[in-house]
Chains A and B, each alone.
Chain A
Amino acid sequence: MIFGRSQRGKPPVEPVTLKILVAGGFGVGKTTLVGAVSEIRPLRTEELLTEAGRPVDDLSGVEQKHTTTVAMDFGRITLREDLVLYLFGTPGQERFWFMWDELSEGALGAVVLADTRRLEDCFAAVDYFERRGIPFLVGVNCFEGSARYPAETVRQALDLDPDVPVVMCDARDRESVKEVLVGVVQHAMAQAADRRRAVTT
């Protein structure tokens, strides 16, 4: 038997992999957010909006968006040789919800990206993560030209539990997105600590 490459010393590093989901309404900037921090161009399946899609995809207030993501898209962040974080954008339209259960299984947490012009678009995502106990935070994507509202107003409008963080962010900005992701992980840690406390007391 020939042992060509494998003789070159140590076996390949098998990384621990984690995933964070990025949810939110159609055209809110999920793919942009993934692209802002991913080391690979977001891998995705996108199709141009067609006649068939038009009744479903309400574009009012989202004039710049021409395509819609119809499958998952994802990015990768290698934090260490042995620790890799994947970001999965969840399909934005409700007819692709069947993919959510699979995506959310084992997820560390989630970002619900919100656009204050169409806040109702993220109700479904908030409901979904609340019901499954998946730690999530709401990132308000501050589009140019959209009115800014205080985080408290967004919290009330979405009827969020008091412990769910609401942060302002810019999905195009790498530093901003990094902070959002750190916020998700911190929230996941806090939620895990709460649960442990609930079990032991």
Chain B
Amino acid sequence: MSADGQGRNHWFDDEAGPVVRPYAMTRGRTTSAAQHRLDLIAVVVTEPHADDPEADVSLSPEHVDIVGLCRQAPQSVAELAAELDLPVGVVRVLVGDLVDEDLVHVNRPVPPAELPDENILRDVISGLRAL
């Protein structure tokens, strides 16, 4: 395998895209233990004690990146995916891990059944007009 494999080391180039599949980062998982699927606009907030994620050897670099970004300011799932250039599904799993580790919590958007709250909608209208 080694002799053969070495000769074919560079059969792909950059245009082939990422060679490691996204699920390698999630160790094969496509869902997390967290019961609810995270909405694209669910906001991920770091817990006060999540100050040194690099020291946690159980975390992957992607986990650490997520904690780092959210520590600067709470981030939506969609923003994390765009910022880290990861598929949304991968971000969901990784955020689920961080929730389990108690490093972040997720502020879910107002559930659809409760929308629209009139006061919030009025605030949205006046906020838009004031832009």
25 interchain pairs (CB within 8 A)?
Answer: A3-B51, A4-B52, A6-B51, A11-B48, A12-B46, A13-B74, A14-B45, A17-B107, A17-B109, A18-B41, A37-B131, A43-B79, A72-B40, A74-B78, A79-B124, A79-B127, A83-B120, A86-B41, A86-B76, A86-B78, A178-B128, A185-B121, A185-B124, A188-B121, A189-B121
Known: A2-B52, A4-B51, A11-B48. A19 touches B41 (CB 8 A): yes
Q: Which of A100-108, A114-122, A147-155, A156-164 contacts B (4 or more CB under 8 A)?
A: A100-108
The contact size tier of chain B is: 35 or more
Which residues of chain A in 1-46 are interfacial with respect to chain B, using CB atoms and an 8 Å cutoff?
1-6, 11-19, 37, 43
Interchain nearest-CB distance for A188 vs B (Å): 5
Chain A's interface: helix, strand, loop or mixed, by majority?
Answer: mixed
**Is B41 within 8 A of A17, CB to CB?**
yes
Please determine whether B74 and A14 come into contact, CB atoms closer than 8 angstroms: yes
Residue B110 CB within 8 A of the other chain: yes
Residue of A nearest to B46 (CB): A12
| Complex: A13 Cα to B45 Cα, angstroms | 9
Contact code string A74-96 (vs B, CB < 8 Å = 1, else 0): 10110110011110100000000
* Complex interface: chain B residues within 8 A of A12 (CB): 45-46, 73-74
